[in-house]
């Protein structure tokens, strides 16, 4: 039997999630021969690539990590870069808005984020993913795009626009990995979890909680287990999410590999699901008696937890509380909008952010990374 050829991947981003993913790939490259690390500056990309190379040296693996500069406006450089690289996967781990800012800085902008909810940043989370998909379509149509930036809603929004994103990373996979660790469950086939990005925090209404099954039976103690998981520092959870992505990514590109676990937004579905990957084909792995339609409805009913919904009519809608918070801080955004409007809304939010960040003060024990 002829072995599958070695492959090249590209990782867009150099932040905490991207670094965790690259560390995981350094230790478990399988048939990946080269990973292209794309950052806003060559210095940053080179440093992160060097760190991953060091981990590969420690692990005794031979994957190459090659740095590339995408500039401050990556959309302008992605097309020629992707045309030259032609990676099997493009993994987007970067957005104009860090999810941690609401927790680590004090400014009118961070106060807006805390009041409005994470869904208020949807246009910013979608911006670079959208550019990446369009760049792949034009310059490297064989490249499959995977998104780690708010995939639970970004991916469905882009699919509604006709832009394919294969799946997401993190979120439900993060919670499932930490849940299995708490329960001492080593076999990932035993656990099935339906969880949205919003379930990284406890919902105010217990009826909005995630749902889980162990060995096909409802996991009654899930709220208590998730309470322990949510008590972990967010950067620890981020590391688990990044590391758990590695075997799933291998299975998406290697017909000989398989994966049983969890992923957010498979094929543009809202929220996160138990999945399996065999022969590079991604499919749902729902508990007995639970249909795809019921799983999708479960997540549709909980999208409001992040402050924005995607309706069956294809329109995105901010919840009343999120929209009121945005208006209170000067954001002139409509209540309802089309996925195609996301780039314009992103530009508006970036201008607003520049103004509201002027009072930014980092807490003394949580200084920003350079």
State the pLDDT at residue 365: 37
Q: Are 11 and 18 in contact (CB under 8 A)?
A: yes
Task: Give the distance, in angstroms, between the CA of residue 7 and the centroid of all CA atoms in the same chain.
Answer: 22
Integer Cα distance of 324 and 331 in angstroms:
9
State the pLDDT at residue 157: 96
Integer Cα distance of 162 and 215 in angstroms:
37
State the pLDDT at residue 363: 44
Torsion sign, CA atoms 45, 94, 285, 8:
negative
State the pLDDT at residue 6: 67
State the pLDDT at residue 359: 64
Within 10 angstroms of residue 44's Cβ, the number of other Cβ atoms is 16
Torsion sign, CA atoms 147, 278, 245, 80:
negative
Nearest to 283 by CA among 297, 312, 263, 299: 263
The structure tokens listed for 97 are: 């808005």
Spelled out in words, what is the top-level CATH class assigned to the domain 172-306?
A: alpha beta
Q: What share of the chain is helix, strand, coil (3-state, %, to 5)?
A: 50, 20, 30
Task: Give the distance, in angstroms, between the CA of residue 365 and the centroid of all CA atoms in the same chain.
Answer: 27
State the pLDDT at residue 288: 86
State the pLDDT at residue 367: 32
Task: Per-residue pLDDT tens, the chain, 370 aa: give them.
Answer: 344 556 899 999 999 999 999 999 999 999 999 999 999 999 999 999 999 999 999 999 999 999 999 877 777 789 999 999 999 999 999 999 988 888 888 899 999 999 999 999 999 999 999 999 999 999 999 999 999 999 999 999 999 999 999 999 999 999 999 999 999 999 999 999 999 999 999 999 999 999 999 999 999 999 999 999 999 999 999 999 999 999 999 999 999 999 999 999 999 999 999 999 999 999 999 998 899 999 999 999 999 999 999 998 899 999 999 999 999 999 999 999 999 999 999 999 999 999 999 865 444 333 333 2
The reported pTM is: 0.93
Tell me which DSSP letter residue 2 carries. Answer: P
Spelled out in words, what is the top-level CATH class assigned to the domain 8-167?
A: alpha beta
Q: Which residues contact 101 (CB under 8 A, 6 or more apart)?
A: 109, 110, 113
DSSP codes joined into one string, 109-125: HHHHHHHH-GGGGHHHH
Domain span(s) for CATH 3.90.110 in the chain? 172-306
Domain span(s) for CATH 3.40.50.720 in the chain? 8-167
Half-sphere exposure of residue 366, counting CA atoms within 13 Å on the CB side? 14
């Amino acid at each position: 039997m002829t072995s599958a050829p070695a492959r090249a991947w590209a990782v867009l981003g150099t932040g905490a999630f991207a670094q965790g993913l690259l560390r995981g790939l350094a230790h478990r490259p399988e048939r990946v021969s080269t990973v292209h690390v794309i950052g806003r500056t060559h210095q940053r990309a080179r440093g992160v690539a060097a760190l991953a190379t060091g981990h590969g040296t420690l692990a005794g693996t031979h994957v190459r990590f090659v740095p590339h500069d995408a500039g401050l406006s990556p959309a302008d450089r992605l097309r020629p870069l992707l045309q030259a690289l032609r990676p099997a996967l493009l993994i987007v781990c970067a957005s104009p808005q860090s999810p941690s800012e609401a927790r680590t800085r004090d400014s009118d902008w961070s106060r807006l984020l805390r009041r409005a909810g994470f869904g208020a940043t949807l246009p910013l989370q979608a911006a670079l993913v959208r550019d990446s998909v369009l760049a792949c379509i034009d310059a490297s149509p064989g490249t499959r795009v995977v998104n780690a930036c708010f995939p639970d809603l970004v991916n469905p929004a882009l699919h509604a626009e006709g832009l394919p994103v294969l799946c997401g990373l993190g979120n439900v996979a993060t919670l499932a990995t930490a849940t299995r660790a708490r329960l001492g469950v080593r076999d990932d086939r035993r656990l099935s979890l339906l969880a949205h990005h919003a379930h990284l925090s406890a919902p105010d209404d217990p009826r909005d909680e995630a749902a889980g099954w162990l060995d096909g039976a409802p996991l009654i103690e899930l709220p208590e287990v998730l309470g322990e998981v949510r008590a972990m520092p967010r950067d620890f959870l981020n590391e688990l999410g990044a590391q758990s992505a590695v075997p799933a990514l291998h299975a998406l590109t290697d017909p000989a590999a398989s994966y049983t676990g969890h992923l957010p937004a498979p094929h543009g579905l809202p929220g996160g699901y138990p999945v399996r990957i065999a022969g590079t084909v991604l499919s749902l792995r729902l508990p007995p008696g639970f249909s795809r339609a019921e799983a999708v409805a479960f997540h549709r009913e909980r999208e409001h937890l992040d402050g924005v919904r995607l309706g069956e009519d294809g329109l995105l809608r901010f919840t009343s509380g999120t929209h009121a918070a945005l208006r209170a801080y000067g954001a002139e955004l409509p209540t309802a909008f089309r996925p195609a409007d996301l780039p314009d809304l992103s530009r508006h939010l970036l201008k607003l952010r520049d103004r509201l960040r002027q009072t930014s003060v980092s807490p003394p024990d949580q200084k920003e990374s350079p």
